[in-house]
Amino acid sequence: MLKGISPVISPELIKILMEMGHGDELVIADGNFPAAGMAQRLVRADGLSCPVLLDAILQLFPLDSFVEKPIALMSVVPGDSYQPVIWEEYRPIVKKYEASFKDFEYMERFAFYERAKKAHAVLASGEMALYANIILKKGVIKA
C-alpha cells in the first residue's frame, strides 16, 4: 500500500501506468470484452467495476490534451435497443479530473476492437454493464 494511491490500483497496474508514454492508450474492459485475445499486455481487475477503476486511474493519469477526444467508448451495435447508462456515470468522473473534458468519442464495435489490439494494455474488469468498455489516451504532465 502507498499513501495517496487507491487500493484498487494493483502493483501490476501502477507499473503499466508508469511505463505508458504520451499517446499510449489503456483499455478498461467490461466483463464481456475479449480481453485476453486482444491485449498486448493484460492486467486483471476481477471484481472491480469500470467506474471505480476509471476514478482511481484518472487520479494519476493525465488525458491527452492534444487530441479533441482522448476518451473513446464502444457504440451500441445497430439494432440493439440497449441504452448504456454507465456512460453517464463516466461523465462526472472524467470532469472531476479533467475540467476541459467535452465529450466522448463513440466507436463502432469492430473499430473499437482493432484500436484495442494496438493499445498499450487492456485492464480486464469485472464490470457487468453492457457497453462499458472505454479507451483512455495518455497525455503529459506539464511542469
Phi, psi angles (nearest 5°) of residue 97 = -105, -20
Phi, psi angles (nearest 5°) of residue 107 = -120, 140
Q: Where are the beta strands (DSSP E) in 16-142?
A: 25-29, 42-45, 71-74, 105-107, 121-125, 134-137
Of 15, 139, 143, 7, the closest CA to residue 68 belongs to 139
Q: Cell 475540467: give the residue.
A: 99
Q: What is the DSSP pairing of strand 42-45 with strand 121-125?
A: parallel
Catalytic residues: 22
